[in-house]
Structure 1
């Protein structure tokens, strides 16, 4: 039974990262010729906020004490507000290739933070798995960089780096909450807090965005906006806490490395890129890295082993 729950956790976070992978080129398409970065950020938060509160009407209500509300507020800023805002602003002034490479640092941040906050051990297998994942993801991304003529930006890269760090804080801090509350309860409060925090500073950017000044409907533009709001915000943020309930934060973060693989697969599928043995090897590095992290011992595993040895004595 426990194995089935872990499998569900892996499938949930895999689906979330597939959606995030598709989101990167679509968001780059929208910025800034269709939507200003600030407008897209607050629209994502407000849309998800409304959707989660609507969903909460159809599930059992859960009372959240003030102490956990404080933690949810911090998670809202780290996992939604600052994370989405900094990432969008950074992506607007740097290349998707740079953004993808920087995203590979998230599992390192999570592994270190989980060791300090959740007392999760940093085993050799886990560290080696993270290293393999980085090698595979970066090598795959650099292959696309060779053919990409896009401008890098130090400021943009720094914004995305900090975005990745605070998202790591969210993954670690929210883990205990996922064991107490449903994904709907967590997300309705997190997106409410983040929307209220960001809306006063970004509302004016919605009105000034080019997308809202067109005399003729652009269905490609509308489709891209809907995907970002629903497919790349509401759905994955519903799936992340559901996966954290079943698997460790470091394992969840390792699925970031799947994003460049999915992006590469899409480009090959639509004829924008070609398949190569190097790409296959890069993907194998990523999957072996993810496997090693999932097989490494958790604090719970070590405590059970210690208890078993004590009982035998």
Structure 2
């Protein structure tokens, strides 16, 4: 088994923990009606862009070639624009319960894409680990008591589900395609360009909502929540994801997607909205067991080294 990269695991855990916390915080903010999902998304992207550019002024300048700038543009489409955009539209057309369940498909997409693109082996341990993690996440989601009977037509719900699925596919494709690319430049350089491209792409669609937002109606709690979403769940989280990409295989990095419903469950218990029981304990055990199984599965390099050793013995 390859050496465990604790930096990579800690980074992906931290990023997904903050994304899991962002879900209830976003619902709390948008419940007041002062801002729409479009506004929250645009604040995330625009605020993170400003923070990354500000941070870059205190670092040694890095020259990015025109070819790599084009690569970063497509990376921003996959990781930010299509991922967040498809998810927001999908949730608005589907039910929250269905959307939560579909998000558990991301590690599966990562495994399939890594097998086709990076030639990573699909081992029994890896499949079992993804199944265990998905089972744990589904136990948390289905046992949370959230309502899924949203008044939407069947055809509309199907389109919503497909958009949420597309969002997961885009993010998994980003993790796989840009596994090696993220090592070429610093975190700040990569993120400042990705969020700049994302902001330019999303602003035309969200400008109307930004103008109509009732900013004066935001309470101090709302402002604090938005600050967490911009700084913690976007600026810091996306930097942590790059660290995870550099140190972990795509399938292992994708497994931490299951941490999000776990964190949302913990928050619900702490806020008195839910209670901890045996089902949730089993779900937690399944999630972390799944992460361990995928992490301990053989990588392509390990498999090639093992086969070479066998040939030498023969």
* Rounded Cα–Cα distance in structure 1 between residues aligned with 2:223 and 2:151: 28
* Cα separation, partners in 2 of 1:305 and 1:182, compared to 1, 3 Å: farther
Per the normalisation by structure 2, the TM-score is 0.90
1:3-14 equivalences in 2 (<5 Å): 3=3, 6-14=5-13
**Structure 1 position 189 matched with structure 2 position 189:** no
SS in 2 for 1:104: helix
* Rounded Cα–Cα distance in structure 1 between residues aligned with 2:289 and 2:218: 46
Which residue does the alignment assign to 1:97?
97
- Comparing 12-21 with 90-99, greater Cα deviation is found at 90-99
Answer yes or no: is the 8 Å Cα contact 1:71–1:173 preserved in 2.
no
Residue 312 of structure 1 deviates from its aligned partner by: 5.3
Which residue does the alignment assign to 1:257?
258
* Cα separation, partners in 2 of 1:267 and 1:181, compared to 1, 3 Å: same
Which residue does the alignment assign to 2:30?
31
* Rounded Cα–Cα distance in structure 2 between residues aligned with 1:80 and 1:257: 19
Which residue does the alignment assign to 2:307?
306
1:39-82 Cα offsets, whole Å, 9 max, x none, are 22222111111111111222233332333222211110010111
Which residue does the alignment assign to 1:115?
115
**Structure 1 position 164 matched with structure 2 position 168:** yes
Answer yes or no: is the 8 Å Cα contact 1:37–1:92 preserved in 2.
no
Residue 113 of structure 1 deviates from its aligned partner by: 0.8
Q: CA RMSD in A?
A: 2.1
Which residue does the alignment assign to 2:14?
15
Residue 203 of structure 1 deviates from its aligned partner by: 1.7
Residue 184 of structure 1 deviates from its aligned partner by: 1.3
User: Is there any run of 5+ residues in structure 1 with no aligned partner, and where?
Assistant: none
1:134-213 equivalences in 2 (<5 Å): 134-145=134-145, 148=147, 151=150, 153=152, 154=157, 155-210=159-214, 212=215
Answer yes or no: is the 8 Å Cα contact 2:97–2:148 preserved in 1.
no
1:274-307 Cα offsets, whole Å, 9 max, x none, are 1111111111111111110000111121222234
Residue 217 of structure 1 deviates from its aligned partner by: 5.2
Which residue does the alignment assign to 2:106?
106
- Comparing 58-67 with 162-171, greater Cα deviation is found at 58-67
**Structure 1 position 86 matched with structure 2 position 101:** no
* Rounded Cα–Cα distance in structure 2 between residues aligned with 1:219 and 1:169: 38
Which residue does the alignment assign to 2:243?
242
* Rounded Cα–Cα distance in structure 2 between residues aligned with 1:90 and 1:19: 21
Which residue does the alignment assign to 1:127?
127
Answer yes or no: is the 8 Å Cα contact 1:28–1:96 preserved in 2.
no
SS in 2 for 1:109: helix
SS in 2 for 1:98: helix
* Rounded Cα–Cα distance in structure 2 between residues aligned with 1:300 and 1:68: 27
Q: What is the aligned residue count?
A: 307
- Comparing 171-180 with 250-259, greater Cα deviation is found at 171-180
Which residue does the alignment assign to 1:55?
55
Which residue does the alignment assign to 2:232?
231
Answer yes or no: is the 8 Å Cα contact 1:98–1:152 preserved in 2.
no
Residue 83 of structure 1 deviates from its aligned partner by: 1.0
* Cα separation, partners in 2 of 1:20 and 1:169, compared to 1, 3 Å: same
* Cα separation, partners in 2 of 1:235 and 1:245, compared to 1, 3 Å: same
Answer yes or no: is the 8 Å Cα contact 1:113–1:172 preserved in 2.
yes
* Rounded Cα–Cα distance in structure 2 between residues aligned with 1:78 and 1:152: 30
